[in-house]
Amino acid sequence: MGTIITIAIISFGMGLLPAFMASQKGRRFIVWWAYGAVLFPVAIVHALFIGASFKRGTKNCGYCRMAVSVNATHCPRCGYEFIGN
């Protein structure tokens, strides 16, 4: 029983690495954390090779990371206001 708990703790901890990497590229942390905890070797490679969602003429919202036009004054999804951008 102790071995199973140890493996579960290590697995959940290792899931943090691909989750953090993917969240920096605009992906959902919780989804990637679960993915990394269950399939760490696959998730870490996947997180390394996914691209950030940058398109020409867009910028990412500082709150929800949605791609919006560079001319936008606020995010249409969450209402984040772009000050000085």
pTM: 0.58
State how many domains the chain has: 2
Distance of alpha carbon 10 from alpha carbon 8, whole angstroms: 6
Question: According to the model, what pLDDT value does residue 82 have?
Answer: 86
In this prediction, residue 54 carries a pLDDT of 54
Rounded-to-integer distance, Cα 79 and Cα 63, Å: 9
The residues, any chain, with a CB within 8 Å of residue 69's CB and separated by 6 or more, are: 57, 58, 59
Per-residue confidence in pLDDT tens, the chain, 85 aa: 789 999 889 988 999 999 999 888 878 899 999 999 999 999 999 998 887 555 567 788 878 888 888 888 889 989 888 886 5
Residue 58, domain extent: 53-85
Could you identify the residue written with the tokens 């000050």?
83
Whether residues 24 and 59 share a domain: the answer is no
In this structure, the answer to whether residues 43 and 8 fall within a common structural domain is: yes
On whether both 11 and 37 belong to a single domain, the answer is yes
